[in-house]
Amino acid sequence: MKYQGGQWQGQVIPLGYIEVIITYQQPPYFSAIWGQANTQVQARAVSRTSYRAAKPGVIVLAPSGKATLSGNGNTSINVTGGGSVIVNSDNASGGVMVGSGNVAASGFYFTGTPGYSTSGSGQFVNIATGQPDNSIIHSGSQAVPDPLATLPVPTMPSTALLPDGSLATTTLKFTGNQYGATNQTLTLSPGTYNGGISVSAQGNIVLQPGIYYMNGGGFGFAGSGSLTVAGPASPDTGNGVMIYNAPQLSSDVISIAGSGAVNVPAPTTGTYQGISIFQDRTSTNTVSVTGNGNMNFGGTFYAANGTLSITGNGGTVSGNPTDNIGAQYVSADLVIGGNGAFNIDYSGGNPINIRVLELVE
């Protein structure tokens, strides 16, 4: 097929391009009294599909899901390491910017048309220049598959042994000096926690490297204590930690929101290298992480059918955010808010090819 108009008229239309010509016969109104005929009105456009390499720093998987940024003028989210924001939703407002916060990335890909909306002064920013840039916003993009769909669910390990010699057979509720803690610090070993973990008040938790399997109950961390990782390397995760959430109730959530220091590196080796949080794929529960200026939580947060709720309340030092909250988000829905700045420090994985639709004439 050949172009019917434009500068390439008569030449073969290349693969991936499409020419659209719309012709309309505009009927006369008062001029019809004098025999005026219809006026032909014509419009023409050429578009093409192409593939771009996108590093999936943020992926919203649900075909009707949303990525919502809600914040005030101090809210600034930076997807570093060349990471992009990808929203599979065919909703015309799949990416919603509410308020005056900004999100910066190397690219924004929306399956919907236009696929995003704004209410307020918030902007989508090109992280390379620090300026709003419409050229990196792509509407009508092809939805991408779950990049972690083949990641195996971890086998439930043996029940964890606590420092006081007891087994984690019921919810571990720690507020300061139980279970053989030393100076309000409790060192935990990897394994299955039946009923989950709940930490509050001034209790400090040290996680030894490995897989922490929450068999119901979820993982809750609040209060003014710290959450850190230390101990001998694990054969499963190297020097890092992965939290797996197997909810039994809608209340069995992961919620990390303490005001103390949070320093949790992702697994450095093994099957789950780079994965910090892995929630049962069938669960619609929310995974909630809040940074308050002392957070370095370095891996992928994965909740294929759930909602990720990320809040940044930390400030900046010399213009740089003090919180690193995850390296990649993969979820059905995403809600980002808060009053501070933080980084999503994308640092791993291979780029994926994503199809984009572009108007060329």
Rounded to the nearest angstrom, the gap between the alpha carbon of residue 30 and the centroid of all alpha carbons in its chain is 58
**pLDDT of 51:** 43
Domain extent at residue 203: 53-354
Residue 115 covered by a domain? yes
Strand partners, 58: 85, 329
Whether residue 151 lies inside any domain: the answer is yes
- In this prediction, residue 21 carries a pLDDT of 74
- pTM (global) more than 0.75: yes
In terms of DSSP bridges, do strands 316-317 and 320-321 run parallel, antiparallel, or are they unpaired?
antiparallel
Could you tell me the maximum CA-CA distance found in the chain, to the nearest angstrom? 102
pLDDT tens digit at each of 361 positions of the chain = 776 777 767 766 665 556 677 777 767 765 556 656 667 767 777 655 544 556 789 999 999 888 887 766 667 899 999 899 999 999 999 999 888 888 999 999 999 999 999 888 888 999 999 999 999 999 999 899 999 999 999 999 999 999 999 999 999 999 988 999 998 999 999 999 999 999 998 889 999 999 999 999 999 999 899 999 999 999 999 999 999 999 999 999 999 998 899 999 999 999 999 999 999 999 999 999 999 989 999 899 999 999 999 999 888 877 788 899 999 999 999 999 888 889 999 876 545 555 445 565 6
- Domain count for the chain: 1
Q: What pLDDT score does 202 carry?
A: 87
Kindly state whether residue 35 falls inside one of the protein's structural domains. Answer: no
Main-chain phi, psi angles of 31, to 5 degrees = -70, -15
Does 98 map to a domain?
A: yes
Domain membership of residue 33 (yes or no) is: no
Asked if residue 44 belongs to a domain, the reply is no
In a domain? residue 360: no
203 assigned to some structural domain: yes
